[in-house]
Amino acid sequence: MNSNLPRSGQYENEMTVKETEKIKQKEKLRIPRAVRIIYIIAAACVPLYVAFLFSEGFSDFFNRNISSVFRAFLAHLTGWIPFSLAEFALILLPVWVVVISRLILRFYGDSLKEMLSGIICIFSIIAVVFSTFTIGFAPAYRGSTLDKKLGIERVDVSARELYDTAVILAEHLNSEVASISYGADGFSVMPYNYSQMNDELIKAYDKACDDYDFIQRLDSKLKPVMLSEAMSYTHITGVYTFFTGEANINVAFPDYTVPYTAAHELSHQRGIARENEANFMAFLVCIRSEDSYIRYSAYLNLYEYVMSALAGADSELYMRAYAKLPDCVRGEMAAYSEFYDKYRDSTASEISGAVNNTFLIIHGTEGTKSYGMVVDLAVAYFKAQQ
């Protein structure tokens, strides 16, 4: 009589094989396929980033033809969300830490090797950020400078040239103030909401695209920051988050700063990475607007940059230039100085300033000093217009 039941020795052998396979599986690092792909893409981005460091021409080509598509994709991907996705993720950062830690302990907590697999999965987030930055924004830092793109020569400027530029800007402000309304607090009042301002700025960018072929044509949405008041203590008026493609603006600052700041962040979104260049590009875009308040915002913000430089160069010329402003504009500047006092010496601003300065230096600019270079571009631009 034959029996189909396995003999005890055969059963033990089969169990031994299964246990051996389980042990081998545990000895291997369990890295999901998606995580492996993320690291492969990040590894491919390393030589790409190095190429940007050594080739201005390649950086310009990549920024205009490839990064622009990637930035537009991100902007449209997140643009339908009515709030800032980047801010939302930052607010929930403690929650993410707890949730991810629990998941790692649950699925990768059996051994040290399992834990290492979990850590590798976590660090894939950094790989995603690096890849996103390299593909979407890094070449913008390494391409040709804005003065070359505009065909103007930027050189060291004299106090007299600063004065002449300030006078030109003051004349434009005198032309615009007739259309501007001011509140009892001395600040001008933006005559529309942020959505309408966004529409006006996109129209102005479309005009700039007709004049400058290096500006990306893009229909995008600004994202007001929910925690703008807290953000003000860092002295940050806006930020472009390259990993979500969002142009975020601090709406706690006075109205006259907002259109210019928004145009600055939209410049980043369109591939103008260096801060001084984004500042000046914002000016060039805003003065093309059909809206008087947006033009006023541009002239006054650039005027403040130029006057800050002039104050350090020649106090007498500074006072002469300041006297050419209408009383309402001088009142707005005084109101801003009073508004800014509570944020001026915050610890948060020192920390954020140090971090921002380090980031700018790493990516080939002159740190926060580069913000002042917008003055050189302004002087060169108006000299070319004469």
- Check: CB of residue 298 under 8 Å from CB of residue 143: no
* pLDDT of amino acid 172: 96
Six-digit token string for 205 = 């960018």
For residue 18, is it within any domain?
Answer: no
* CA-wise closest residue to 125 among 158, 99, 156, 150: 99
Residue with tokens 């649950």: 106
d(CA 56, CA 133): 17
Q: Does residue 93 carry a pLDDT above 80?
A: no
Which of 142, 159, 175 terminates a domain? The answer is 142
- Check: CB of residue 140 under 8 Å from CB of residue 61: no
Q: Name the average pLDDT for the chain.
A: 85
* CA-wise closest residue to 332 among 173, 213, 204: 173
d(CA 14, CA 361): 62
* pLDDT of amino acid 21: 52
Provide CB contacts within 8 A for 361, sequence distance 6+.
367
* pLDDT of amino acid 16: 59
Q: What share of the chain is helix, strand, coil (3-state, %, to 5)?
A: 70, 5, 25
One domain, residues 173 and 261: yes
One domain, residues 101 and 134: yes
Segment among 18-27, 100-109, 154-163, 353-362 with least mean pLDDT: 353-362
* pLDDT of amino acid 92: 83
One domain, residues 137 and 151: no
pTM: 0.84
One domain, residues 175 and 126: no
* CA-wise closest residue to 291 among 264, 256, 252, 327: 256
Six-digit token string for 134 = 């390299």
Which of 124, 142, 160 terminates a domain? The answer is 142
One domain, residues 244 and 329: yes
d(CA 157, CA 55): 29
One domain, residues 99 and 235: no
d(CA 376, CA 81): 38
Position 154 confidence tier, pLDDT thresholds 50, 70, 90? confident
* pLDDT of amino acid 371: 43
Which of 105, 125, 142 terminates a domain? The answer is 142
Alpha carbon of 344 to those of 136, 181, 338: distances in Å?
A: 33, 27, 10
CA 348 from centroid of its chain's CA atoms:
19
Six-digit token string for 233 = 């203590």
Position 10 confidence tier, pLDDT thresholds 50, 70, 90? low
Provide CB contacts within 8 A for 153, sequence distance 6+.
147, 380
Q: Does residue 114 carry a pLDDT above 60?
A: yes
* pLDDT of amino acid 270: 96
For residue 15, is it within any domain?
Answer: no
Position 1 confidence tier, pLDDT thresholds 50, 70, 90? low
Position 249 confidence tier, pLDDT thresholds 50, 70, 90? very high
Domain that holds residue 61: 26-142
* pLDDT of amino acid 343: 77
d(CA 241, CA 129): 11
* pLDDT of amino acid 139: 96
Mean per-residue pLDDT, 28-39? 82
Summarised one tens digit per residue, pLDDT across range 181-230 is 999 999 999 999 999 999 999 999 999 999 999 999 999 999 999 988 88
Alpha carbon of 132 to those of 135, 144, 272, 287: distances in Å?
A: 5, 21, 16, 32
One domain, residues 98 and 170: no
The per-residue DSSP string of 68-117 comes to: HHHHHHHHHHHHTSSS-HHHHHHHTHHHHHHHHHHHHHHHH-SSHHHHHH
d(CA 127, CA 133): 10
d(CA 320, CA 322): 5
Six-digit token string for 107 = 């699925």
